[in-house]
Structure 1
Amino acid sequence: MRLFLATAFCLTLFALNSILCRAALVVWGMEPLQYTAIRGLSAAVMLALLCALHVVRGAPGKGSVWKQAWKESSWAGSLFLFLYMLCFSLAYLTMPSAAGTLILNISVQFGMVGWGLAQGVRLTRMQAAGLALAFAGLLALLSPGLTAPPLVGALLMVISGLSWGGYSICGRGASSASLATAGNFFRCAIAGVVTACAAMMLEGPAHPAAWACALAAGAVASAPGYVLWYVIVPRYSLTGSSVIQLSVPLITAVLAVLLLNEPITLRLALCSVPILGGICLALVSRQKA
């Protein structure tokens, strides 16, 4: 029960990233550069605090936790992390919460599969069928129509998802995912400061409620959420943890209705079935292969 509650809480935090972004940008009128900077910098500050409080711990005898976090991270990983956050913010200017999370998740999976194929990994027939089904669902979701998500926003969310996939690939060699996350956010803070300066020159002042949303996204939904996830994920198989994350779009859809009054269109509901079902089939087939 404790594992279930911790998992549900962590997945809800991931879903809240979309809700908080939409609330800040659409409800309270914050502009995307400000949001990206505040989210990234507040996450870095929170992770620094978690390191100072020894919530994020280093290995004994290998130097300070700060030094270990820096070594576990990389400039490539921090670049992908920043690109993920920036495109995420830009996409949610026009993209509904549930549709955005759905596109983000499938883009991450396709990015990881593409990397595997480039490394010589071969797909089974079931994996290929599952991915083809998911891709068909995505095409149906984005096909022209009154209820289709905005194309530019969808493309930006695809880039965001691919960037998160790249970030995950960069961290595969890390001995501690929590330390690597902290180090990448520390490195990413440099881009955050530059983005904040650009926002001050190019964008207008934001409502205090928007600031609260951006701070909560970084200091609550992102930093502690990622650390908690890396504590939980060893309790699941690789496939199990991946399948569990497919619930995030569903949680986001419920929260979007309750908190943002965003409708769930028939197109989104129907297209979610092949998208999530296809990814689930591919993941389960990978475990059996």
Structure 2
Amino acid sequence: MRLFVLTVLCMTLFASNSVFCRAALVEYGMEPGVYTAVRGLSAAAALCVLGRIQARRRGLGRGWLREVWNRGTWAGALSLFAYMALFSWGYVDMPTAAGTLIINAVVQFGMVGWGIRHGVRPGRRQGLCLIVALAGLVGLLLPGLSAPPLMGAALMAGVGLAWSAYSICGRSADDAVLATAGNFWRCAPLSALAGLAGLCAGGPATSPEALTCAVCAGAGASACGYVIWYMIVPRYSLVNASIIQLSVPVITAALALATLGEAVTLRFAVCATLILGGIALSVLEKGRNTATPGGERANGGGGKTGGAD
């Protein structure tokens, strides 16, 4: 029951990132660079507190700051910053649920591409399932009345690729709090630069409501969500860890409908069914063809596996 509650909380935090971002940018007119800075810096501040608590639990003394810094990597920090920056600019024109759907689909393809490059090739049925998912993504992006903007979709695809890179960087992490804190600390200067660029670009003053959304996204949804994910992912096989994340676009659509009043179109529903169904069948097929109970846990226990926001 504890694992189930943590999983539901984690997926909801992932989904709420999109809602907070869309609300801050569209409802309250926050500049994307400023949003990126507030989100990144507030997450780094929250993880400073969590990192100190974890350092005490591990018996680290005065050198705990250096230890946390060393747990992060520059590859992880750069991919994390790219994810946050593209996320902010992408959601300026992108509907909340559609953006999350594109991110999760591209993450899955990014992870598959990484596996192919390292000799893990999908089977024939897996390939067919991924083609179905790709067809759903293409159908969502085709020109039409309810299609999302292509520029926003391209930015969201970049978000998915950046999250794939961050996921791969985190597979060897052995401490959820310290590794996440180290990556956020390393990308904090870049977040500050993004905020400075946003302030120089001008625009309306940041409202208290927008600032609240950005802080909640950073200190709450991002910092806590990523730490919880690192905590629970070793308890799942690689297959199950991938499947549960397919719930994020559905949760996001429900949250956007309840809080932002964004309607779910028929086009989105059909394309979402193709994308999520194709990915889920592909993952299940992989589990039947290649997984062993011990091997799955070995592959899935090192860090993030798949898409999230």
Q: Distance in 2 between matches of 1:285 and 1:39?
A: 38
Q: Which amino acid aligns with 2:98?
A: A
**Cα distance, 1:174–1:53 mapped onto 2, change above 3 Å:** closer
Establish whether residue 31 from structure 1 lines up as the match of residue 4 from structure 2.
no
- Secondary structure of 1:93 counterpart: coil
Query: What is aligned with 1:170?
Result: 169
Q: Which amino acid aligns with 1:148?
A: A
Q: Deviations over 1:80-120 (max 9, x none)?
A: 10000011111100100100000000111111111111112
TM-score, length basis structure 2:
0.89
Query: What is aligned with 1:183?
Result: 182
Q: Distance in 2 between matches of 1:22 and 1:263?
A: 14
Q: Deviations over 1:182-226 (max 9, x none)?
A: 111000001011112212211332111000000000000000111
**Structure 1: runs of 5 or more not aligned:** none
Q: Distance in 1 between matches of 2:216 and 2:63?
A: 28
Q: Distance in 1 between matches of 2:149 and 2:88?
A: 14
Question: Quick check: 1:34–1:196 contact (8 Å CA) kept in 2?
Answer: yes
Establish whether residue 123 from structure 1 lines up as the match of residue 122 from structure 2.
yes
TM-score, length basis structure 1:
0.95
Query: What is aligned with 2:69?
Result: 70
Query: What is aligned with 1:241?
Result: 241
Identical aligned residues as a percent? 55
**Structure 2: runs of 5 or more not aligned:** 291-309
Question: Quick check: 1:88–1:160 contact (8 Å CA) kept in 2?
Answer: yes
Q: Distance in 1 between matches of 2:3 and 2:115?
A: 30
Question: Quick check: 1:58–1:65 contact (8 Å CA) kept in 2?
Answer: no
Query: What is aligned with 2:262?
Result: 262
Offset at residue 126 of structure 1 (A):
2.0
Question: Quick check: 1:73–1:171 contact (8 Å CA) kept in 2?
Answer: no
Question: Quick check: 2:34–2:196 contact (8 Å CA) kept in 1?
Answer: no
Query: What is aligned with 1:17?
Result: 17
Question: Quick check: 1:72–1:175 contact (8 Å CA) kept in 2?
Answer: no
Q: Which amino acid aligns with 1:17?
A: N
Query: What is aligned with 2:304?
Result: none
Question: Quick check: 1:171–1:177 contact (8 Å CA) kept in 2?
Answer: no
Q: Distance in 2 between matches of 1:57 and 1:32?
A: 36
Offset at residue 51 of structure 1 (A):
1.2
Q: Distance in 1 between matches of 2:57 and 2:66?
A: 9
Q: Distance in 1 between matches of 2:129 and 2:259?
A: 33
Question: Quick check: 1:19–1:97 contact (8 Å CA) kept in 2?
Answer: yes
- Secondary structure of 1:244 counterpart: helix
Offset at residue 10 of structure 1 (A):
1.3
Query: What is aligned with 1:3?
Result: 3
Q: Which amino acid aligns with 1:236?
A: Y
Q: Bigger CA drift: 45-54 or 14-23?
A: 45-54
